[in-house]
Structure 1
Protein backbone atom coordinates (compact mmCIF):
# COMPACT_ATOMS: atom_id res chain seq x y z
CA UNK A 1 0.00 0.00 0.00
CA UNK A 2 1.01 3.59 -0.56
CA UNK A 3 0.79 6.47 1.88
CA UNK A 4 -2.75 7.38 0.77
CA UNK A 5 -4.09 3.90 1.54
CA UNK A 6 -2.03 3.61 4.72
CA UNK A 7 -3.48 6.90 5.96
CA UNK A 8 -7.03 5.79 5.19
CA UNK A 9 -6.56 2.47 7.03
CA UNK A 10 -4.92 4.23 9.97
CA UNK A 11 -7.74 6.78 10.11
CA UNK A 12 -10.33 3.96 10.16
CA UNK A 13 -8.62 2.32 13.12
CA UNK A 14 -8.38 5.66 14.95
CA UNK A 15 -12.06 6.40 14.37
CA UNK A 16 -13.09 3.06 15.80
CA UNK A 17 -10.79 3.44 18.79
CA UNK A 18 -11.07 7.17 19.60
CA UNK A 19 -13.97 8.60 17.63
CA UNK A 20 -13.95 11.66 15.42
CA UNK A 21 -13.29 14.45 17.92
CA UNK A 22 -10.49 12.77 19.87
CA UNK A 23 -8.51 11.60 16.85
CA UNK A 24 -5.57 13.86 16.06
CA UNK A 25 -3.43 14.04 12.94
CA UNK A 26 -0.55 12.64 14.99
CA UNK A 27 -2.70 9.65 16.01
CA UNK A 28 -3.34 8.89 12.35
CA UNK A 29 0.32 9.24 11.45
CA UNK A 30 1.34 6.96 14.30
CA UNK A 31 -1.29 4.37 13.33
CA UNK A 32 -0.51 4.49 9.60
CA UNK A 33 3.26 4.82 9.59
CA UNK A 34 2.96 7.72 7.14
CA UNK A 35 4.22 11.25 7.76
CA UNK A 36 2.24 14.29 8.87
CA UNK A 37 2.63 16.21 5.62
CA UNK A 38 1.12 13.33 3.64
CA UNK A 39 -2.30 13.96 5.21
CA UNK A 40 -2.50 17.40 3.60
CA UNK A 41 -0.96 16.18 0.35
CA UNK A 42 -3.36 13.25 -0.12
CA UNK A 43 -6.55 14.45 1.62
CA UNK A 44 -6.29 18.19 2.15
CA UNK A 45 -6.94 18.00 5.89
CA UNK A 46 -7.29 15.62 8.79
CA UNK A 47 -11.05 16.16 8.83
CA UNK A 48 -11.39 15.34 5.13
CA UNK A 49 -9.39 12.17 5.71
CA UNK A 50 -11.57 11.21 8.67
CA UNK A 51 -14.72 11.85 6.63
CA UNK A 52 -13.47 9.54 3.87
CA UNK A 53 -12.45 6.94 6.44
CA UNK A 54 -15.92 7.06 7.99
CA UNK A 55 -17.59 6.65 4.58
CA UNK A 56 -15.31 3.69 3.84
CA UNK A 57 -16.22 2.09 7.18
CA UNK A 58 -19.94 2.53 6.49
CA UNK A 59 -19.58 1.13 2.98
CA UNK A 60 -17.78 -1.89 4.40
CA UNK A 61 -20.44 -2.41 7.05
CA UNK A 62 -23.32 -1.98 4.59
CA UNK A 63 -22.31 -5.21 2.84
CA UNK A 64 -23.76 -6.98 5.89
CA UNK A 65 -27.19 -5.44 5.15
CA UNK A 66 -27.64 -7.98 2.36
CA UNK A 67 -27.08 -10.94 4.64
CA UNK A 68 -25.71 -13.94 2.78
CA UNK A 69 -25.38 -12.00 -0.46
CA UNK A 70 -27.26 -10.39 -3.32
CA UNK A 71 -30.30 -12.34 -4.35
CA UNK A 72 -30.42 -14.16 -1.00
CA UNK A 73 -32.95 -11.86 0.67
CA UNK A 74 -36.37 -13.39 1.28
CA UNK A 75 -39.54 -11.82 -0.05
CA UNK A 76 -40.15 -9.85 -3.15
CA UNK A 77 -38.93 -6.33 -3.80
CA UNK A 78 -40.64 -3.86 -1.46
CA UNK A 79 -42.24 -6.61 0.65
CA UNK A 80 -42.53 -6.59 4.42
CA UNK A 81 -40.58 -9.85 4.45
CA UNK A 82 -37.63 -8.23 2.67
CA UNK A 83 -37.92 -5.13 4.87
CA UNK A 84 -37.72 -7.33 7.98
CA UNK A 85 -34.75 -9.32 6.66
CA UNK A 86 -32.73 -6.21 5.75
CA UNK A 87 -33.46 -4.52 9.08
CA UNK A 88 -32.55 -7.71 10.96
CA UNK A 89 -29.16 -7.57 9.22
CA UNK A 90 -28.77 -3.86 10.00
CA UNK A 91 -29.68 -4.26 13.66
CA UNK A 92 -27.21 -7.16 13.93
CA UNK A 93 -24.40 -4.72 13.02
CA UNK A 94 -25.52 -2.47 15.88
CA UNK A 95 -25.35 -5.29 18.40
CA UNK A 96 -21.69 -5.98 17.70
CA UNK A 97 -19.21 -4.76 20.30
CA UNK A 98 -17.49 -1.58 19.14
CA UNK A 99 -20.15 -0.88 16.51
CA UNK A 100 -19.13 1.97 14.23
CA UNK A 101 -22.63 3.45 14.35
CA UNK A 102 -21.88 5.46 17.49
CA UNK A 103 -19.67 7.56 15.22
CA UNK A 104 -22.77 8.59 13.31
CA UNK A 105 -24.16 10.25 16.42
CA UNK A 106 -20.87 12.02 17.06
CA UNK A 107 -20.81 13.34 13.50
CA UNK A 108 -24.44 14.49 13.61
CA UNK A 109 -23.78 16.47 16.80
CA UNK A 110 -20.67 18.19 15.47
CA UNK A 111 -21.86 18.73 11.88
CA UNK A 112 -22.14 22.52 12.15
CA UNK A 113 -18.58 22.76 13.46
CA UNK A 114 -17.12 21.03 10.39
CA UNK A 115 -18.93 22.27 7.24
CA UNK A 116 -16.43 20.62 4.87
CA UNK A 117 -16.91 17.26 6.55
CA UNK A 118 -20.67 17.75 6.60
CA UNK A 119 -20.67 18.40 2.83
CA UNK A 120 -18.61 15.26 2.15
CA UNK A 121 -20.89 13.14 4.30
CA UNK A 122 -24.04 14.66 2.76
CA UNK A 123 -22.87 13.42 -0.66
CA UNK A 124 -22.22 9.99 0.81
CA UNK A 125 -25.63 9.99 2.47
CA UNK A 126 -27.33 10.57 -0.89
CA UNK A 127 -25.47 7.56 -2.27
CA UNK A 128 -26.50 5.58 0.80
CA UNK A 129 -30.14 6.51 0.18
CA UNK A 130 -29.78 5.21 -3.36
CA UNK A 131 -28.30 1.97 -1.97
CA UNK A 132 -31.24 1.49 0.40
CA UNK A 133 -33.71 1.78 -2.48
CA UNK A 134 -31.69 -0.67 -4.53
CA UNK A 135 -31.49 -3.21 -1.71
CA UNK A 136 -35.09 -3.01 -0.53
CA UNK A 137 -36.74 -2.61 -3.91
CA UNK A 138 -34.53 -5.09 -5.78
CA UNK A 139 -33.32 -2.77 -8.54
CA UNK A 140 -29.75 -2.09 -9.63
CA UNK A 141 -28.34 0.98 -7.89
CA UNK A 142 -27.66 2.72 -11.21
CA UNK A 143 -31.38 2.41 -12.06
CA UNK A 144 -32.55 4.20 -8.90
CA UNK A 145 -33.84 7.61 -9.96
CA UNK A 146 -32.93 10.81 -8.15
CA UNK A 147 -36.60 11.16 -7.20
CA UNK A 148 -36.62 7.69 -5.60
CA UNK A 149 -33.34 8.38 -3.78
CA UNK A 150 -34.71 11.71 -2.51
CA UNK A 151 -38.02 10.26 -1.26
CA UNK A 152 -37.96 6.55 -0.50
CA UNK A 153 -34.20 6.53 0.02
CA UNK A 154 -34.42 9.52 2.37
CA UNK A 155 -37.18 7.75 4.29
CA UNK A 156 -34.94 4.70 4.79
CA UNK A 157 -31.94 6.87 5.70
CA UNK A 158 -34.02 8.77 8.26
CA UNK A 159 -35.23 5.49 9.72
CA UNK A 160 -31.62 4.29 9.87
CA UNK A 161 -30.47 7.39 11.74
CA UNK A 162 -33.32 7.00 14.23
CA UNK A 163 -32.50 3.34 14.80
CA UNK A 164 -28.83 4.21 15.28
CA UNK A 165 -29.79 6.88 17.81
CA UNK A 166 -31.98 4.46 19.75
CA UNK A 167 -29.34 1.69 19.73
CA UNK A 168 -26.68 4.19 20.82
CA UNK A 169 -28.83 5.67 23.58
CA UNK A 170 -30.41 2.53 25.03
CA UNK A 171 -29.77 -0.81 23.33
CA UNK A 172 -32.04 -2.62 25.81
CA UNK A 173 -35.17 -0.86 24.53
CA UNK A 174 -34.12 -0.16 20.93
CA UNK A 175 -36.35 -1.72 18.26
CA UNK A 176 -35.43 -4.90 16.47
CA UNK A 177 -36.45 -5.85 12.94
CA UNK A 178 -39.74 -7.37 14.09
CA UNK A 179 -40.79 -4.17 15.87
CA UNK A 180 -39.81 -2.01 12.86
CA UNK A 181 -41.67 -4.30 10.48
CA UNK A 182 -44.79 -4.31 12.65
CA UNK A 183 -44.65 -0.52 12.85
CA UNK A 184 -44.42 -0.26 9.06
CA UNK A 185 -47.27 -2.77 8.67
CA UNK A 186 -49.47 -0.63 10.92
CA UNK A 187 -48.60 2.52 8.96
CA UNK A 188 -49.45 0.84 5.66
CA UNK A 189 -52.66 -0.60 7.06
CA UNK A 190 -53.70 2.77 8.45
CA UNK A 191 -52.92 4.56 5.20
CA UNK A 192 -54.80 2.07 3.03
CA UNK A 193 -57.92 1.95 5.25
CA UNK A 194 -58.76 5.61 4.73
Structure 2
Protein backbone atom coordinates (compact mmCIF):
# COMPACT_ATOMS: atom_id res chain seq x y z
CA UNK A 1 0.00 0.00 0.00
CA UNK A 2 1.03 3.61 -0.55
CA UNK A 3 0.87 6.42 1.98
CA UNK A 4 -2.69 7.33 0.96
CA UNK A 5 -4.01 3.85 1.74
CA UNK A 6 -1.83 3.52 4.85
CA UNK A 7 -3.25 6.78 6.19
CA UNK A 8 -6.81 5.66 5.55
CA UNK A 9 -6.34 2.33 7.31
CA UNK A 10 -4.54 3.99 10.21
CA UNK A 11 -7.32 6.56 10.53
CA UNK A 12 -9.93 3.79 10.67
CA UNK A 13 -8.12 2.09 13.53
CA UNK A 14 -7.77 5.39 15.37
CA UNK A 15 -11.46 6.18 14.96
CA UNK A 16 -12.53 2.85 16.39
CA UNK A 17 -10.11 3.19 19.30
CA UNK A 18 -10.43 6.90 20.14
CA UNK A 19 -13.28 8.50 18.18
CA UNK A 20 -13.20 11.70 16.13
CA UNK A 21 -12.41 14.35 18.71
CA UNK A 22 -9.64 12.51 20.57
CA UNK A 23 -7.82 11.35 17.42
CA UNK A 24 -4.89 13.61 16.57
CA UNK A 25 -2.89 13.85 13.37
CA UNK A 26 0.07 12.41 15.25
CA UNK A 27 -2.06 9.41 16.30
CA UNK A 28 -2.82 8.70 12.65
CA UNK A 29 0.81 9.11 11.61
CA UNK A 30 1.96 6.75 14.36
CA UNK A 31 -0.71 4.17 13.51
CA UNK A 32 -0.09 4.33 9.76
CA UNK A 33 3.70 4.59 9.76
CA UNK A 34 3.59 7.69 7.55
CA UNK A 35 4.33 11.37 8.22
CA UNK A 36 2.36 14.54 8.96
CA UNK A 37 2.94 16.04 5.52
CA UNK A 38 1.26 13.04 3.91
CA UNK A 39 -2.09 13.92 5.50
CA UNK A 40 -2.22 17.35 3.90
CA UNK A 41 -0.87 16.09 0.59
CA UNK A 42 -3.33 13.22 0.18
CA UNK A 43 -6.44 14.45 2.04
CA UNK A 44 -6.11 18.18 2.64
CA UNK A 45 -6.70 17.95 6.38
CA UNK A 46 -6.96 15.54 9.27
CA UNK A 47 -10.75 16.02 9.46
CA UNK A 48 -11.20 15.25 5.76
CA UNK A 49 -9.17 12.07 6.24
CA UNK A 50 -11.24 11.06 9.27
CA UNK A 51 -14.47 11.70 7.39
CA UNK A 52 -13.31 9.49 4.52
CA UNK A 53 -12.20 6.78 6.93
CA UNK A 54 -15.57 6.84 8.67
CA UNK A 55 -17.47 6.61 5.40
CA UNK A 56 -15.45 3.56 4.41
CA UNK A 57 -16.16 1.95 7.78
CA UNK A 58 -19.89 2.49 7.27
CA UNK A 59 -19.74 1.25 3.67
CA UNK A 60 -18.11 -1.89 5.01
CA UNK A 61 -21.32 -2.55 6.95
CA UNK A 62 -23.38 -2.63 3.74
CA UNK A 63 -22.43 -6.27 3.22
CA UNK A 64 -24.00 -7.05 6.59
CA UNK A 65 -27.11 -5.04 5.69
CA UNK A 66 -27.51 -6.90 2.41
CA UNK A 67 -26.71 -10.34 3.78
CA UNK A 68 -29.52 -12.87 4.23
CA UNK A 69 -32.36 -10.43 3.51
CA UNK A 70 -35.70 -12.21 3.39
CA UNK A 71 -39.15 -11.15 2.24
CA UNK A 72 -40.69 -9.45 -0.76
CA UNK A 73 -39.73 -5.86 -1.57
CA UNK A 74 -41.55 -3.46 0.77
CA UNK A 75 -42.99 -6.24 2.95
CA UNK A 76 -43.05 -6.38 6.75
CA UNK A 77 -40.92 -9.52 6.55
CA UNK A 78 -38.26 -7.63 4.61
CA UNK A 79 -38.50 -4.72 7.07
CA UNK A 80 -37.85 -7.12 9.96
CA UNK A 81 -35.00 -8.85 8.14
CA UNK A 82 -33.15 -5.66 7.16
CA UNK A 83 -33.49 -4.01 10.57
CA UNK A 84 -32.41 -7.23 12.28
CA UNK A 85 -29.20 -7.10 10.24
CA UNK A 86 -28.66 -3.41 11.04
CA UNK A 87 -29.29 -3.87 14.76
CA UNK A 88 -26.79 -6.72 14.72
CA UNK A 89 -24.07 -4.20 13.85
CA UNK A 90 -24.98 -2.06 16.88
CA UNK A 91 -24.39 -4.66 19.59
CA UNK A 92 -20.62 -4.24 19.74
CA UNK A 93 -19.50 -1.62 22.30
CA UNK A 94 -16.93 -0.49 19.70
CA UNK A 95 -19.60 -0.11 17.03
CA UNK A 96 -19.03 2.27 14.14
CA UNK A 97 -22.42 3.80 14.96
CA UNK A 98 -21.03 5.34 18.15
CA UNK A 99 -18.88 7.50 15.91
CA UNK A 100 -22.04 8.81 14.27
CA UNK A 101 -23.44 9.81 17.63
CA UNK A 102 -20.20 11.59 18.42
CA UNK A 103 -20.62 13.74 15.31
CA UNK A 104 -24.22 14.51 16.27
CA UNK A 105 -23.28 15.51 19.82
CA UNK A 106 -19.97 17.24 19.09
CA UNK A 107 -20.51 18.36 15.52
CA UNK A 108 -19.41 21.95 16.16
CA UNK A 109 -16.01 20.67 17.26
CA UNK A 110 -15.51 18.71 14.05
CA UNK A 111 -17.28 20.91 11.46
CA UNK A 112 -15.44 19.52 8.45
CA UNK A 113 -16.35 15.98 9.44
CA UNK A 114 -19.94 16.98 10.15
CA UNK A 115 -20.35 18.75 6.81
CA UNK A 116 -18.78 15.87 4.89
CA UNK A 117 -21.04 13.31 6.56
CA UNK A 118 -24.10 15.49 6.16
CA UNK A 119 -23.62 15.41 2.39
CA UNK A 120 -23.15 11.64 2.50
CA UNK A 121 -26.30 11.11 4.56
CA UNK A 122 -28.56 11.52 1.54
CA UNK A 123 -26.75 8.73 -0.26
CA UNK A 124 -27.26 6.57 2.81
CA UNK A 125 -30.98 7.32 2.80
CA UNK A 126 -31.17 6.38 -0.87
CA UNK A 127 -29.43 3.09 -0.12
CA UNK A 128 -31.88 2.26 2.66
CA UNK A 129 -34.85 2.88 0.37
CA UNK A 130 -33.42 0.54 -2.27
CA UNK A 131 -32.61 -2.11 0.32
CA UNK A 132 -36.04 -2.08 1.94
CA UNK A 133 -38.24 -1.37 -1.08
CA UNK A 134 -36.22 -3.10 -3.79
CA UNK A 135 -34.58 -1.86 -6.96
CA UNK A 136 -31.30 -0.10 -7.67
CA UNK A 137 -30.07 2.89 -5.68
CA UNK A 138 -29.59 4.96 -8.81
CA UNK A 139 -33.26 4.46 -9.73
CA UNK A 140 -34.70 5.67 -6.41
CA UNK A 141 -36.76 8.85 -7.08
CA UNK A 142 -35.85 11.99 -5.15
CA UNK A 143 -39.34 12.04 -3.63
CA UNK A 144 -38.70 8.60 -2.12
CA UNK A 145 -35.38 9.80 -0.70
CA UNK A 146 -37.15 12.83 0.83
CA UNK A 147 -39.92 10.73 2.38
CA UNK A 148 -39.05 7.06 2.89
CA UNK A 149 -35.35 7.83 3.09
CA UNK A 150 -35.94 10.45 5.76
CA UNK A 151 -38.11 8.04 7.74
CA UNK A 152 -35.54 5.26 7.59
CA UNK A 153 -32.69 7.64 8.50
CA UNK A 154 -34.65 8.91 11.50
CA UNK A 155 -35.29 5.34 12.60
CA UNK A 156 -31.59 4.52 12.19
CA UNK A 157 -30.52 7.55 14.25
CA UNK A 158 -32.99 6.68 16.99
CA UNK A 159 -31.74 3.10 17.11
CA UNK A 160 -28.14 4.27 17.35
CA UNK A 161 -29.01 6.45 20.32
CA UNK A 162 -30.96 3.73 22.11
CA UNK A 163 -28.36 1.03 21.57
CA UNK A 164 -25.59 3.35 22.78
CA UNK A 165 -27.52 4.67 25.78
CA UNK A 166 -29.38 1.60 27.05
CA UNK A 167 -28.58 -1.57 25.06
CA UNK A 168 -30.44 -3.81 27.51
CA UNK A 169 -33.74 -2.09 26.67
CA UNK A 170 -33.07 -1.09 23.05
CA UNK A 171 -35.66 -2.47 20.63
CA UNK A 172 -35.14 -5.53 18.48
CA UNK A 173 -36.32 -5.79 14.89
CA UNK A 174 -39.37 -7.83 15.91
CA UNK A 175 -40.59 -5.03 18.19
CA UNK A 176 -40.09 -2.40 15.48
CA UNK A 177 -41.92 -4.54 12.95
CA UNK A 178 -44.85 -5.16 15.28
CA UNK A 179 -45.02 -1.43 16.00
CA UNK A 180 -45.09 -0.70 12.28
CA UNK A 181 -47.76 -3.34 11.69
CA UNK A 182 -49.96 -1.84 14.42
CA UNK A 183 -49.44 1.63 12.99
CA UNK A 184 -50.46 0.43 9.52
CA UNK A 185 -53.53 -1.32 10.92
CA UNK A 186 -54.51 1.78 12.87
CA UNK A 187 -54.08 4.06 9.87
CA UNK A 188 -56.20 1.73 7.73
CA UNK A 189 -59.19 2.05 10.05
CA UNK A 190 -61.52 4.79 8.78
CA UNK A 191 -63.50 6.39 11.55
CA UNK A 192 -66.81 8.20 10.87
CA UNK A 193 -65.17 11.52 11.75
CA UNK A 194 -62.33 10.91 9.32
CA UNK A 195 -64.71 9.82 6.59
CA UNK A 196 -66.67 13.07 6.77
CA UNK A 197 -70.39 13.73 7.23
CA UNK A 198 -72.97 11.20 6.03
CA UNK A 199 -74.20 12.50 2.65
CA UNK A 200 -77.72 11.15 3.24
TM-score, normalised via structure 2 length: 0.92
User: 1: distance between equivalents of 2:37 and 2:9?
Assistant: 17
Structure-1 separation of matches of 2:85 and 2:12:
22
Q: CA deviation at 1:57?
A: 0.4
Q: Report the more deviating stretch, 167-176 or 144-153.
A: 144-153
Aligned counterpart in structure 2 of residue 134 of structure 1, from 114, 130, 146 = 130
Paired with 1:104 and 1:97, the residues of 2 have a C-alpha distance of: 13
Partners of 1:112 and 1:173 in 2: CA distance: 30
| Unmatched tracts of structure 1, length 5 or more | none
Structure 2 stretches of 5 or more lacking a match? 191-200
Q: Are 1:54 and 2:54 matched, yes or no?
A: yes
Structure 2 CA distance for aligned equivalents of residues 19 and 119 of structure 1:
17
Aligned-residue offset at 1:66: 1.4
Spell out the pairing of 1:146-161 with structure 2 (5 A cutoff). 146-161=142-157
Q: How far did residue 100 of structure 1 move?
A: 1.4
Report how far residue 111 of structure 1 moved. 1.4
Q: Deviations over 1:15-50 (max 9, x none)?
A: 001111110000000111111011111111111111
Q: Check the 8 A contact 2:78/2:132 in 1, yes or no.
A: yes
Where 1:173 maps in the other structure, the secondary structure is coil
Aligned length: 190
Report the TM-score, using the length of structure 1 for normalisation: 0.94
2:121 maps to 1:125:
yes
Partner SS, residue 81 of structure 2: helix
